[in-house]
Amino acid sequence: MEDNLKEIEKWERIINNFPPDSITAKTAQEKLAQIKQRKKVDVDKDFSGVVTSINTLIDKVYNSNASVSNREIDNAINDRLKKLKIKESNLSPELKKLIGETKTIEVKVNNVKTFSGKTGEDRRLIDVLLSDFEAQNNVYLYGEAGTGKTFIAGIIAKRINYKLITLNCNQYTSPLDILGGQTIDGYQEGRLTEAWGNIDLGLNAKNQPYAGALLLLDELPKIDPNTAGLLNDGLAKIKDAVDVVELSNGTTIEVPPTISNGKGQRISRANIFIIATGNSLLNEANKDYEANFKQDLSLQDRFAGSCYRITYNYKFEYEKIMTNISSNSFPDGTIIDMTFAFNFLAQLRMKIVAKKLTGIAFVSTRLMIVARDTFVAFLVNREQTPNKIPKPKKLSEVVKSFLTLFSEQQKEMLEQELSAEFKEFYDKCDIKDVTPLDQLNNATDQEKETAKLIIEEAEKSYAKNSAIPL
């Protein structure tokens, strides 16, 4: 309670000492509103005391000579229980852990289950990024294309209720994109300054204000090194302390760090978290990704201590995407297993990485989702009597379409070096296309063993390369 009073006093001082239309005053008003909206919960500190008081109440009623109905007894007990209001913050650490391990979440897209599992399951990368958020560290995520670096930034933004603002980095990224500038439609704020000052964030999906902004510098190595220098001021001042200034009347105000926008205006730092992504380290021009530039070491230093190599999470893809697949369009209880497809796509990915072809195309988690959804759509169409698509797209066609991204020579090399795997996959696709729905949930022991070996090999690679799976 005392901490809340100090916070209120701090924000009220800022509001009283800054112009009402200033960003600083608006930020203080938002903070003050958030504090005042918090509901104070009156909780009995000793739950056993509540139980004792109820028992005493019951004994008192039954030991008296008064004629009391069961309804009156129930009402008396309910009145006592209403005084006990419990939220998750009042629970013991042991009970919170139990809830986290047993609470489940399920997400569906186009009637296909895309994720289902316990919310308490280990998600090491999320824990690390939330720790960096608390420490106000700039984060750099790098690794092969398609490993989910951009995706995880979106997850973190939702988790902390920050608006996701993306600066797409490439050789054409301009000062206007970063700091703002004049356009034919008038002045346009830059992505950095918009996030830095929490300018016009709008409302979240729950129609509530965002708590801040997460600036995603997507594909940072692709930005021109000269242009990248415009980011340095903001990146460097993320951890700068707030100055405490004493006014002539003896009061003090807190003044946060500022950066200049395209108009030359000083923008005060609000709540901001910065995550950058790339395929390689910033201090190297990776030949596998031709569009990358070698960046100045000062830019890399802005992310010192929070650079993480991200890799594919094979176990997640296998357990949450390619097995135990259900659909609202299937009969109740129908489950599809695509272990055979996971095994093939995982081995194809490993070969592409080994041959350093990820700059051309890559087997992403998204490709696995496309393969799964295409197979489900094929099966749904197959089971429908009226309105069938005459020649629906098949699972095998997903792979054939993917291979067209490579040159003929590269494609032939992949097909030759994985000739047995390609033949087995295409043969199984032909069989699965005509297998009854109720027989599509049975992976063979060999398929399961192959999947297990793939995951074990991938996890050894994580440790060897100091990589964190998504």
DSSP 270-333: -SEEEEEEESS-TTS--TTSTT--PPPHHHHHTTTT-EEEEE--HHHIIIIISSSB-BTTSPTT
Taking only the tens place, the pLDDT of each residue in 202-229 is: 999 999 999 999 999 999 999 999 899 9
Q: Which two tokens stand for residue 126?
A: 């999320």
Tell me how crowded residue 228 is: count the other CB atoms within 10 A of its CB: 23
Which is more confidently placed, 324 or 46?
324
pLDDT band at 288 (very low <50, low <70, confident <90, very high): low
Q: With H, G, I as helix, E, B as strand and everything else as coil, classify residue 118.
A: strand
β-pairing verdict for 258-260 and 180-183: unpaired
Report the range of poorest mean pLDDT among 28-37, 38-47, 369-378.
Answer: 38-47
Dihedral-angle region of residue 451 (phi above 0 means left; psi in -120 to 50 means alpha; beta otherwise): alpha
Taking only the tens place, the pLDDT of each residue in 408-457 is: 999 999 999 999 999 999 999 999 999 999 999 989 999 999 999 999 99
Where are the strands (E) in 119-264, listed by range?
Answer: 139-142, 162-168, 180-183, 186-189, 212-218, 243-246, 252-255, 258-260
Q: Is the separation of the CB atoms in 163 and 381 below 8 Å? A: no
**Could you give the CA distance from residue 9 to residue 11 in angstroms, rounded to a whole number?**
6
- Region 280-294 average pLDDT: 68
**Could you give the CA distance from residue 344 to residue 206 in angstroms, rounded to a whole number?**
41
Query: Which of 230, 196, 234 lies closest to 213, judged by CA?
Result: 196
Q: Which two tokens stand for residue 395?
A: 């699972």
- Region 314-339 average pLDDT: 91
Taking only the tens place, the pLDDT of each residue in 155-164 is: 999 999 999 9
- Region 21-29 average pLDDT: 72
**Max Cα distance, the chain (Å):** 97
Q: Residue 458 pLDDT > 70, yes or no?
A: yes
pLDDT band at 166 (very low <50, low <70, confident <90, very high): very high
What's the pLDDT at 102?
Answer: 47
Residue at token pair 């720790």: 131
Share of the chain above pLDDT 70, in %: 76
Half-sphere exposure of 310 (CA within 13 A, CB side): 29
pLDDT band at 297 (very low <50, low <70, confident <90, very high): confident
Which is more confidently placed, 22 or 235?
235
Q: Which two tokens stand for residue 202?
A: 């709008």
Q: Which residues of 114-134 are buried (b: 16+ CB within 10 A; e: fewer)?
A: eeeeeeeeebebeeebeebbe
Bridge partner list, 109:
112
Average pLDDT, the chain: 81
**Could you give the CA distance from residue 341 to residue 437 in angstroms, rounded to a whole number?**
17
Q: With H, G, I as helix, E, B as strand and everything else as coil, classify residue 377.
A: helix
Report the range of poorest mean pLDDT among 89-103, 107-121, 188-202.
Answer: 107-121
DSSP string, 20-71: TTSHHHHHHHHHHHHHHHSPPP---S-HHHHHHHHHHHHHHHHHSSS---HH
- Region 95-111 average pLDDT: 48
Q: Is the separation of the CB atoms in 176 and 170 below 8 Å? A: no
**Could you give the CA distance from residue 451 to residue 319 in angstroms, rounded to a whole number?**
10
Share of the chain above pLDDT 90, in %: 47
Q: With H, G, I as helix, E, B as strand and everything else as coil, classify residue 255.
A: strand
For 113, residues 6+ apart whose C-beta sits below 8 A from its C-beta are 106, 107, 324, 325, 326, 327
pLDDT band at 374 (very low <50, low <70, confident <90, very high): very high
- Region 173-200 average pLDDT: 94
pLDDT band at 105 (very low <50, low <70, confident <90, very high): very low
Q: Residue 90 pLDDT > 90, yes or no?
A: no
Which is more confidently placed, 100 or 307?
307
- Region 116-132 average pLDDT: 67
Q: Is the separation of the CB atoms in 422 and 416 below 8 Å? A: no
| Amino acid at site 245 | V
**Could you give the CA distance from residue 254 to residue 245 in angstroms, rounded to a whole number?**
6
Q: Residue 59 pLDDT > 70, yes or no?
A: no
- Region 283-305 average pLDDT: 75
Q: Which two tokens stand for residue 136?
A: 């106000």
Q: Residue 85 pLDDT > 60, yes or no?
A: no
- Region 306-320 average pLDDT: 89
Q: Is the separation of the CB atoms in 153 and 308 below 8 Å? A: no
pLDDT band at 117 (very low <50, low <70, confident <90, very high): very low
What's the pLDDT at 122?
Answer: 46
Taking only the tens place, the pLDDT of each residue in 65-81 is: 555 555 555 566 566 55
Eight-state DSSP code of residue 209: B
